[in-house]
Amino acid sequence: MKMIFYPALFAFVLFLQIVIPPDAFACTRVVYKGPNNTVMTGRSMDFSLEIPANLWIFPRGMKRNGEVGANSVEWVSKYGSIAASSWDIATPDGMNEKGLVANLLWLVQSEYPEFDINGDRQGLAISMWAQYMLDNFATVAEAVEAMRDEPFAVVSDFIPGTDKFTTVHLSLSDATGDNAIFEYVNGKLVIHHDPSYIVMTNDPIFEEQLALARYWENIPGKVFLPGSVTATDRFVRASFFIDAIPQTDNTRVAVAAVFSVIRNVSVPYGFEIEGFPNLSTTQWRVVSDQKNLVYYFETALTPNTFWVDLKKVDLSEGAHVKKLDLSNHKTYSGETSGKFVRSEPFQFIGI
């Protein structure tokens, strides 16, 4: 087989490997759009340590506050949701009953606004950022309009027991296929809103990810794709493969195809690169079927993918909060809505 060498491409890839910092969390998120309103969002959750996750059912009508003291935002949830927790202190991923999906991914370059706990501006703990969106909005457009004037400050802090200051950006997608990316750059909220924004990884900021995408449009993906586990390489592979997989409204095929893309951009379990300790193992993966309201989940250390059909879950106001315990590598298979048990809601960590 004759190999084709692209000097400019080689130089560009080398440049990216040098100037883009290694990921702290090497997550990837991608949105699939098939015929007949088929929309699915897949993501990987990557972390250098095993990151305990449980699944939670949150009904409508839950009273919440932003967990940052007297100036916390307060609200009552308008929509029920399923959420994956991290350490049962935060929601990094979930889908609500209207098909809105929220995903948090690491972004080292995030800079949040200053927050005075005794000041006048309201605040929201970063642990609740995704859950706030799931609780309050049915569509991406609604969320973008509500957040445009920055009605509150997102307040971050260190992950308990670590020296890692939480720096994330937020992606939203909805059942129409609309997308938005929310980032804090130099202390200001930047919103990128367009249905075409179907892929997001970690660093760099999304504006630079878009520039990366434009560059790779001129490189034939069937001839060359970058194969490392860096955010930039994963962005390129995810962008190519999400367009290359079958366009179908067959749910079984579409879910399998989206999972195959997310697995392609996952980091092998236990993989390490000397000198790059922050490149992280994929701990769990999700595919959210926003048309049929089914949430598919798999972890690296259990053998099965299982799913939850939100149409079989009671999300009405006054219904019980329920939990699916995934601790100690508990294994589930098939549709698991009946396996959730009544539980007190976890406490979101604040300041």
What are the structure tokens assigned to 97, written together? 């009953």
- Cα-based angle 99, 39, 238 (whole degrees, multiple of 5): 120
Render the burial of 322-346: b for 16+ CB within 10 Å, e for the rest: bbbebeeeeebeeebbebbeebebb
Which residues are CB-neighbours of 275 under 8 A, at least 6 positions away? Answer: none
Query: Which distant-in-sequence residues (6+ apart) come within 8 Å of 250 by Cβ?
Result: none
Quick check: 308 and 69 in contact, CB under 8 A?
A: no
Contact 64, 75 (CB under 8 A): yes
CA distances from 24 to 18, 203, 255 (A): 16, 9, 28
Is 27 part of the annotated catalytic residue set? yes
Question: Dihedrals φ, ψ of 265, to 5°?
Answer: -100, 10
Residue 275: other Cβ atoms inside 10 A: 7
Query: Rounded distance, CA 128 to CA 126, Å?
Result: 5
User: From CA 130, how far away is CA 228, in angstroms rounded?
Assistant: 29
Q: Can you spell out the DSSP letters for 72-141? A: B-EEE-SS-EEEEEETTTEEEEEEETTS-EEEEEE-TT--PPP--TTSSS-EEEGGGHHHHHHHH-SSHH
> Are the beta carbons of 282 and 69 closer than 8 angstroms?
no
Q: And the tokens for 318?
A: 């006054």
Among 13, 20, 27, 51, the active-site one is 27
Query: Which residues have a Cβ under 8 Å from the Cβ of 2 and sit 6 or more positions away?
Result: none
Q: Which residues are catalytic?
A: 27
